[in-house]
Structure 1
């Protein structure tokens, strides 16, 4: 026995070596040295389990529980065979006819929905005419003062003359297009009232006019500010005009938030105005930068020769090049993504062969932003012009979405559709439960009907069936449910024996892989 006074040895965990500490002065040979001291290795501390955390983990639903519940839900909605023989009337035939009609209706709805989504993703553009009116009015000009005050010389109160420029844009209605909604007189009146200012205006009167404009709209439509990213007014320099009076004026469309549906009221307008002081005519240039989705680009001369157009979007460029490659037969026979470049494609890519996935990136060097639309205008402040003023009118082509596309988007994003789908799914679950109950009732009916016809043989067959099922569950059944495993064919080996089959080898491998078999080995 170990003495109670003996020092206790440190308890080392498995895998940790017992480190020894040598003396700095090793002993001579033959002389007893100091006893090596063993340094204890600290044991890793195990955290104390939190009972509240363990209880929460036990109560937490397993991620597979929902899948298990879904797998156990009945999904069969077909009436079992033989029910029509015991049901009075034509209910079963009518139910089967409704099931066939439902399948055809579901197929048609899914096909139509896919067609609508495909048409929405193609972003087909139409072009319409946007008419722009540019006009200006004046106030406190010298000739106006002279007309109001008889005998006052022109030029009195210098520097008080002002002008106000108005830029208005409207889409022209096309009577030949039946998809464009009609505008009645009340709508035109409301639209006239909604015309507001968009730029910062100089002067309190213009600011007051801006705040009093209305931006309500009965019918969603694309207004003047919808088609442009920015609008800039550049003034020609004049030595007699102050530099601050010729500084450019710029309006920039604000960025639309991701969850916003339309532009804010201050950025959604049909007309804009600005006012400044001047007593002489000024030349201005109005620059309009297009806002299109997808954005179009100006093509280089080489790329325009291939696509036969001078302006195109990114997707249109790739599709046009692909159509050109197929039309000219420039694909390699073995690798279809490899393209042989003819003299036109070689001028674009600068190589003899091109890998098709690299084409979108390679065409970026041959595209540039489209030039802004420039509209010249002269601000007239003289009396001769304002005796019979006429606005300057420009017609430009703008890209608009197909009106049917908006209706299709409204159909696909209708919240009522999702609610109807959930309601139909709930009715399908209830129908599956009814069919399951009907299947059980049919099984009971068949059971009692067979029992009533021949009770003795039925009970004998049923008992044998239950016995075989029980033996199969307990693993005591013979091979095949009726064969004797002790027969001579199971004792014989060789190439043609029952044990030389993939099934037997798989069974033996499965038995040897069991934990009890591994322990026995």
Structure 2
């Protein structure tokens, strides 16, 4: 502390009362609030009424859902009281519906699995490389000998163009069709010209830049410089839009440099693949038998090798033993299957670029009849069926179809419930017509037992026949008209399924 420093006198703050007790601990970082009871703002009468109405609506909707019939099975012995084979036909349709639903669900799961696997197809990308020459010595530089101005600021330059096109599978077929049409027209000169056939809408076009994420040009060591560096990198997508920017969506790339001598260059194309493929080390290649693969393919290959060689632990299925090949790759005795991604990382390297040698010709003899240098590069594209399968999975009509099927199921359940009620009525009246006296006696005994159970007056060891005067007596003063009996019967009836009015 410095010798002339005078501390600022702080005011004495009187101790404040706190609602917390001395031994109570306020733990955690949070808002500075007391833990005592907080007084809520009282609700208005309108808010209370609204809450009551909302609660009543929720209760009513719950009752309707509980009363909604869901059974779609016909009652037993329905064939004995119906005309024709309606019941058997309905059961056959129900069985066919179950098998159809199972088949559709299995096929839909197969489509989802196929889309998630992202199956690729290999196609040919044809690349043309050519160059032009400007303001070279043999071109004369455009000087006029009749003028006194013999100076020129023109510098010999050249343009190199790299163009790529994806070859379709039906290119040869189209060429054959065109040749046949041309031959037919030449054979018949009086043939009238027909309107060209409209071409069907093709799949989304793949551009040259879609297959590569970067491009660079290597010049000779003695010709490198600032003006010689050529490099392109694909910009990343920004925003939710799926469309690529213009700098990443093109079929040809052209660059201009100065020079007047032929040069040998190498064009490096760095592949862009989703999911990314890697170059596999030789030790790992001996196991998975793949020199280039994605992470998923390598992990699946190792898993298949573990199962084939029986290296999985018996007690702990997540662990596996390493044989000579696995021990050479991973350097461990035992490993865990969930950590296979970590084990293979040191053995993966980025794929080397596609190298295209090219000679920049600036001599007069070449440019009398310039010919491009052509390369064919194999590239991976999505299976064309994948787009169709994606459209099938995201079809809005499928959800509408499911909603319509659910509505039909509800109507069917309502009809089946009505059939159950009719079957019960039929059984009741049939039993009554066969032996009325016995049926009425049994029915009254059943009603007596039900009423005893409802009113809580059921006793063991007492006769169950309704022969007592209290059960035979009717009218306003009978046991059937008491308040408990009416309420109990109302509760019992309210639990019965009620046919939904649609």
Partner of 2:323: 342
The equivalent position to 2:299 in structure 1, one of 295, 315, 318, is 318
Which of 357, 368, 372 aligns to 2:349? It is 368
Q: Is the 8 A contact 2:74 2:420 kept in 1?
A: yes
Other structure's SS at 1:120 match: helix
TM-score by length of 1: 0.67
Give the structure 1 partner of residue 43 of structure 2.
50
Instruction: State the partner residue of 2:116.
Output: 121
Report if aligned partners of 2:126, 2:167 keep a CA contact under 8 Å in 1.
Answer: yes
> Paired residue for 2:232, among 210, 226, 250?
250
Question: How far does the alpha carbon of each residue in 1:343-400 deviate from its partner, in whole angstroms, 9 at most, with x for none?
Answer: 3322322222223322221221221222222223233333221111111112222222
Per-residue CA shift, 1:158-184, capped at 9, x if unaligned? 435443332222233446xxxx99768
State the partner residue of 2:160: 165
Q: How does 1:63-462 map to 2 (within 5 A)?
A: 70-145=65-140, 157-174=152-169, 218-236=202-220, 245-255=227-237, 260=242, 263=244, 267-462=248-443
Could you tell me whether the CA contact under 8 Å between 1:159 and 1:278 is conserved in 2? no
Find the aligned partners of 2:47 and 2:216 in 1 and give their Cα distance.
Answer: 64
CA separation of 1:101 and 1:332: change in aligned 2, threshold 3 A:
closer
| Structure 1 segments unaligned to the other structure (5+ residues) | 1-14, 18-42, 188-216, 484-521
Conserved? CA contact 1:232–1:249, under 8 Å: yes
Further displaced range: 136-145 or 56-65: 56-65
TM-aligned CA deviation for residue 255 of structure 1: 2.5
Pair 63,140 (structure 1): closer, same or farther in 2 beyond 3 Å: farther
Quick check: 2:281–2:291 contact (8 Å CA) kept in 1?
yes
Supply the RMSD in Å over aligned alpha carbons. 4.0
Partners in 2 of 1:475 and 1:362 — Cα distance? 71
1:130-188 alpha-carbon deviations (Å, 9 max, x no partner): 22111123344443346897999xx973435443332222233446xxxx99768999x
2:146, 2:79 → 1: CA distance? Answer: 111
TM-score by length of 2: 0.69
Q: 1:220 aligns to what SS in structure 2?
A: coil
Stretches of structure 2 that go unaligned for 5 or more consecutive residues are 1-19, 23-35, 179-200, 465-502
Which whole-Å CA distance do the structure 1 matches of 2:398 and 2:219 have between them?
A: 54
Cα 1:465–1:140 shift into 2, 3 Å = farther
Distance 2:269 2:395 in 1: 36
Question: Aligned pair in 2 of structure 1 residues 92, 351: CA closer, same or farther (>3 Å)?
Answer: closer
